Chains A and B, each alone.
Chain A
Amino acid sequence: MNELYITPEFEVVRNENRCIACRVCERQCANEVHSFDETRGVLRSDEIRCVNCQRCVSLCPTHALKIVKNNCTLRENANWQNATIKEIYKQANTGGVLLSSMGNPKPMPVYWDKILINASQVTNPPIDPLREPMETRVFLGKKPDVLRRGADGKLLTDLEPQLSLSMPVMFSAMSYGSISYNAHASLAAAAEALGILYNTGEGGLHEDFYRYGANTIVQVASGRFGVYEDYLNAGAAIEIKMGQGAKPGIGGHLPGAKIVGDVSRTRMIPEGTDAISPAPHHDIYSIEDLRQLVYSLKEATDYKKPVIVKVAAVHNIAAIASGVARSGADIIAIDGFRGGTGAAPTRIRDHVGIPIELALAAVDQRLRDEGIRNNVSLVVGGSIRSAADVVKAVALGADACYIATAALLALGCHLCRTCQSGKCNWGIATQRADLVKRLNPEIGKERLCNLMTAWRHEIMEIMGGMGINSIETLRGNRLMLRGIGLSEKELSILGIMHAGE
Chain B
Amino acid sequence: MKKEGEIRIPSGCAIAAVISKEGKRMNGDGIVRSMVPMHERSNGLGGGFAAYGIYPQYRDFYAFHLFFDSRDVRKDCEAFLRERFEIVHAERMPTRKIPQITDEPMIWRYFLAPLPSAVAAMQVDEKEYVMRTVMQINSEKNGCYVFSSGKNMGCFKAVGYPEDVGEFYRLDEYEGYCWTAHGRYPTNTPGWWGGAHPFSLLDASVVHNGEISSYDANRRFIEMFGYHCTLQTDTEVITYIMDYLLRRKGLTLQEAAAVIAAPFWSTIEAKTDAREREQYAFLRMVFPSLLVTGPFSIVFAFDGGLMALNDRLKLRSMVVGEKDDKVFIASEESAIRVMAPDAENIWSPAGGEPVIVRVKEGAKL
Contact = CB atoms under 8 A, between A and B. Distances in A.
A400 to B, nearest CB: 12
A159 B293 contact: no
A254 B85 CA distance: 69
Given A144-B286, A478-B220, A123 B12 contact: yes
A133 interface: yes
Contacts of B265: 135, 137
Interface string B241-283: 0000000011100010000001011100000000100110111
B217 A373 contact: no
A147 B286 contact: yes
A205 B269 CA distance: 33
Nearest to A469: B293
B227 to A, nearest CB: 12
Contact of B217 (A124, A137, A143, A477): A477
Contacts, number: 109
Nearest to A120: B213
Chain B interface size range: 35 or more
A368 B220 contact: yes
Contact of B292 (A473, A475, A476): A473
Contact of A470 (B10, B12, B187, B291): B291
Contact of B282 (A155, A472, A475): A155
A124 B213 contact: yes
A372 to B, nearest CB: 8
A315 B248 CA distance: 36
Majority secondary structure, A binding face = loop
A469 B220 contact: no
Contacts of A154: 275, 279
B286 A477 contact: no
Interface string A142-158: 01100101000011010
B295 interface: yes
Contacts of A476: 216-217, 220-221, 289
Interface in B213-255: 213-218, 220-221, 223-225, 249-251, 255
A496 to B, nearest CB: 10
B223 A473 contact: no
A475 B215 CA distance: 11
B289 A467 contact: no
A132 interface: yes
Contacts of B223: 368
Contacts of B365: none
Contact of B251 (A123, A147, A474, A480): A147
**Interface bin, chain A:** 35 or more
A139 interface: yes
B224 to A, nearest CB: 5
Contacts of B255: 155
Given A154-B275, A476-B220, A139 B285 contact: yes
B8 interface: yes
Nearest to A501: B7
Contacts of B312: 469
Contacts of B10: 123-124
Contacts of A371: 224-225
B12 A157 contact: no
Contact of B285 (A159, A368, A397, A474): A159
Given A468-B213, A476-B217, A125 B285 contact: no
Contact of A467 (B8, B213, B282): B213
A168 to B, nearest CB: 11
Contacts of B313: 127, 132, 469
A147 B255 CA distance: 12
A157 B315 contact: no
Interface string B181-223: 0000001000000000000000000000011111111101101
Interface in A457-479: 466-470, 472-479
A368 B225 CA distance: 9
A394 to B, nearest CB: 10
Contacts of A368: 220-221, 223-224
B5 interface: no
Contacts of B285: 139, 143, 159, 162
B293 A470 contact: yes
A277 interface: no
B218 A473 contact: yes
B288 interface: yes
B294 interface: yes
Nearest to B250: A147
A149 B249 CA distance: 11
Given A124-B212, A478-B220, 6 more contacts: A124-B294, A143-B287, A157-B279, A468-B213, A472-B289, A479-B216
Which 3 A-B residue pairs are closest in the complex by CB-CB distance?
A: A473-B214, A479-B216, A467-B213
Interface of B: 8, 10-12, 187, 210-218, 220-221, 223-225, 249-251, 255, 262, 264-266, 275, 278-279, 281-289, 291-295, 312-313, 315
